[in-house]
Amino acid sequence: MNENDNLIYGTRPVIESLKAGKEFDKIFIQKGLRSEQVAELYQLIKTYDAPFQHVPIEKLNRLTRKNHQGVVGFVSVVTYQPIEEVVQRIYERSETPLLVVLDGVTDVRNFGAIVRTAECAGAHAILFPTQGSAQLNADTMKTSAGALNHLAICRTKNLNQALDYLQQSGIQLVAATEKAEKLLYEADYTVPTALLMGSEESGISPAYLHKANHQVHIPMLGRTESLNVSVAAGVLLYEAVRQRKNIAQS
């Protein structure tokens, strides 16, 4: 990985960045690292709910050749917004929510491509869990063609609770899964909707899939078994656009 503007290394610089209100996509801490400063860092991580991971020193050395002191952080390229505030604003504007929820999408380019399509399709927000998701960096921003700056990006430590909140707010969950019997065209996207997309490797987690109000699949007519997740998200988003446009014109 090349060094870039959103990489901060060293215990004190990361501590001061947290105190200054900077949001981090990930803080990597060397396994077994102990000191008063590191204890202070852990306290700030807890206070600001910052995502962190214990890693071997070899990984840190690959991230930067500078004196990292066992701590490397990546400052987020976006400002995250609470999903509750985003949903409230959508309803206050008398708009019909259209959200995209990503479970286990770890590839930064796929993530960026989904954000770009979602913004183009008029979606309101992207929601994803803190753990097990792509790190939003310069590559994500580039792939999104800047759309990360124009779409609400929501990160949550507890996706299960966030999905419960969406449903309690009158938003249906439509899960895209090849195991579904219903075609994507059979769902009604003119009502408040959150599209739930999973990773290409393992799909949507069973616990989240179980919550879905509807499970739908995209018809596959060729020999290839599945679509790239960013393409699949685009197919569902523009089916929603088609249905909502027809309603608006009728």
Tell me the pLDDT tens digit for each residue of 183-231. 999 999 999 999 999 988 889 999 999 999 999 999 999 988 888 999 9
Q: What is the pTM of this model?
A: 0.86
Q: Residue written as tokens 């299960």?
A: 160
Q: For residue 4, what pLDDT is reported?
A: 61
Picking from 48, 75, 102, the residue at the C-terminal end of a domain is 75
Same domain membership, residue 90 and residue 57? no
**Domain end position, chosen among 75, 101, 121:** 75
| Residue 2 confidence (pLDDT) | 43
Looking at residue 3, its pLDDT comes to 45
For 17, the domain range is 7-75
Same domain, 54 and 91: no
Same domain? For 109 and 215 the reply is: yes
Is 231 among the domain residues? Answer: yes
DSSP 175-227: EE-TT-SEEGGGS--SSSEEEEEEBTTTBS-HHHHHH-SEEEE----SS----
Residue at which a domain ends, from 59, 75, 91: 75
Whether residues 191 and 99 fall in one domain: yes
- Residue 194 and residue 122: Cα distance in Å, rounded? 13
In this prediction, residue 200 carries a pLDDT of: 80
Do 188 and 218 form a contact (C-beta atoms < 8 A)? no
Number of C-alpha atoms within 13 angstroms, CB side, residue 67? Answer: 2
In the block, residue with structure tokens 């987690």: 205
